[in-house]
Amino acid sequence: MNRREFITTGLAAFGVSALGLRAEAQAAGIPPPTLVQMRVPLPANEIHVFPNHFRLYHTRADGTAVRYACRVGRDSLYEPGQYYVGAKKANPSWKPTPGMVEREPEKYAQYEEDGIPGGPNNPLGVRALYLFQPGRGDTFLRIHGTNDPGTIGRAVSNGCAGLTNEHIRVLYDQTPIDTPVVLYPKMG
């Protein structure tokens, strides 16, 4: 089996059409999800976000992972640590946090009361994984979709990791509740 067949077979195991995602990703200049061999062994069925590389890895039992291009939180809003997926929502509604309204009222105050209903045009995109911590509960951090693929590969969010709407659909379907998530510290 050659490399292309291996990757396509691995993506098919995740329910991903390599050709469909490749076309979407190329149109936006974003690499499609890629099956990669892990250089360092990590436990299976976890999500690892490496902010300096703007990559999210969903690990598998065979020592491989599906690698996604992502965006991350800007500056001090990025919060490294260990989390778990405490909730999942398809087409989630969105409301800015009080901190978001305080930092940028001109951008968020208009949504403070009613938020934005679920769907592809809201800031959480079409799917969201809600990150929790023991003793703290919901951290208000998410791994979610975006309708602005130009933000992938940048530190622009209010703390969340973001994927394209097409890519978050795949990750969402493969991620059960209680999946461990590690957000690594930014370096430098």
Element (H, E) at 166: helix 165-174
Nearest to 129 by CA among 187, 74, 61, 183: 183
Tokens coding 98: 């009080």
70 is catalytic: no
CA 130, 35, 39 angle in degrees (round to 5)? 95
Per residue in 128-159, is it b (16+ CB within 10 Å) or e — as a string? bbbbbbeeeeeeebbbbbbeebebbbebbbbb
Structure-token pair, residue 65? 């992972």
Q: Which amino acid makes up residue 57?
A: Y
H or E segment to which residue 82 belongs: strand 81-90
Active site residues: 144, 160
